[in-house]
Structure 1
Amino acid sequence: MRLDKYLAEAGLGSRKEVKAILKTGKVTVNDVKVKDGKQQVELDKDSVSYDGQPLAYQEFYYYLLNKPAGVVSATKDNLDKTVVQLLKTQDFREDIFPVGRLDKDTEGLLLLTNDGALSHNLLSPKKHVEKEYFAQIQGQVTQATVREFAAGLTLKSGENVKPGQLFIEKSEGNKSEIRLIIHEGKFHQVKRMFEAVGMKVTYLKRLRMGSLKLDEALALGEYRALTDEEITKLKDESGKKAEVK
């Protein structure tokens, strides 16, 4: 990797800023001053420092966000605030994106990363990665509803969805609280599944994606970096060989 790219990836600054930093002579590679940003750096061998302090290179970033309602699951939007805009300045990177989408009014777990391969595997229907939700429903969810979900539903659009595991947390009169586990991620899927049985989702929150659970210590809008253990589990269960950096 070129030294200037390495320095930018290590958080030292933009490419333009890195160019100016290199001119100061404060950057060393294996204790030798280097001013040429084109010099190649071997990630697993070379030691790069700035002003005597070693720089740590990180290729992939993983953040667990407790998404609040009112922000959109996108990297750019002309009207609304996006989930990546919730990242602090020191954590923001142009290549970070949300893994899948939560509706604007949906809360809960959202993974932000720049690991495209992991994202693809987590979202692929062939991988059968579970997504678990909590929802408040306008309608009485019964054991008959549970059986309908377990058999697989046909949405009002005529589209079929795979069986889902529905658990009743509370059902009183015309209001219910449930948990639902699905293995797909179709557009507005949870809301459309309940519409198919004549009910309406009034509140929706994602609790889990695969082994990754929502950290209840995070307030809405807050996030944290994933642990190495969480990253390894996600990669293992999604079929990608774990390469934690």
Structure 2
Amino acid sequence: MRLDKLLANKAYGSRKEVHQLLKDQRVTINGEITTKKDIHVDIESDVITVDGQVVNTKQQYYVKFHKPKGYVTAVEDAKHPVVMDLLPPEYIKMGVVPVGRL
């Protein structure tokens, strides 16, 4: 993924604002300052920082489904079955958590 697109998607500003961050030498990849806006980064392995703060490159996942009657929207509950019981284990490994009714 292009660095400027990643940073814009992560709300570091518009592409134009991200280009200024790069010109100002405020962005590093794996500890090295970069000023190239079109450089491609590996979001799985590269460590990207802006002003010394690490950019979270983890992909967010959302799962939308109809909660069956009798289940509660929670990670655990002593009295009722929870929606997490309905998800495959790989979803839990990805960090999916219930956020309530929409």
Q: Are the counterparts in 2 of residues 9 and 57 from structure 1 also a CA contact under 8 Å?
A: no
Structure 1: which 4+ aligned runs deviate by more than 3 Å? 233-236
Using a 3 Å threshold, how does the CA distance of structure 1 residues 235 and 18 change in structure 2: closer, same or farther? farther
State TM-score, norm by structure 2: 0.63
Aligned length: 89
Map 1:1-245 → 2, pairs under 5 A: 1-60=1-60, 115=62, 118-119=63-64, 122-123=65-66, 129-130=67-68, 181=69, 210-213=71-74, 237-239=86-88, 241-242=90-91, 243-244=94-95
Q: Are the counterparts in 1 of residues 27 and 35 from structure 2 also a CA contact under 8 Å?
A: yes
- Aligned partners of 2:7 and 2:28: how far apart in 1? 11
Higher strand share: 1
Say what the alpha-carbon RMSD is for the aligned residues.
3.0
Q: Are the counterparts in 2 of residues 25 and 33 from structure 1 also a CA contact under 8 Å?
A: yes
CA apart distance, 1:236: 6.0
Amino acid across the alignment from 1:51: D
CA apart distance, 1:48: 0.6
- Aligned partners of 2:34 and 2:72: how far apart in 1? 44
CA apart distance, 1:235: 6.4
CA apart distance, 1:211: 4.2
State TM-score, norm by structure 1: 0.30
In the alignment, structure 2 segments of 5+ residues that lack a partner are 77-81, 97-102
- Aligned partners of 1:240 and 1:2: how far apart in 2? 32
- Aligned partners of 1:241 and 1:4: how far apart in 2? 31
CA apart distance, 1:41: 1.3
CA apart distance, 1:234: 5.2
- Aligned partners of 2:8 and 2:83: how far apart in 1? 27
Report the identity percentage: 29
- Aligned partners of 1:18 and 1:234: how far apart in 2? 40
CA apart distance, 1:23: 1.6
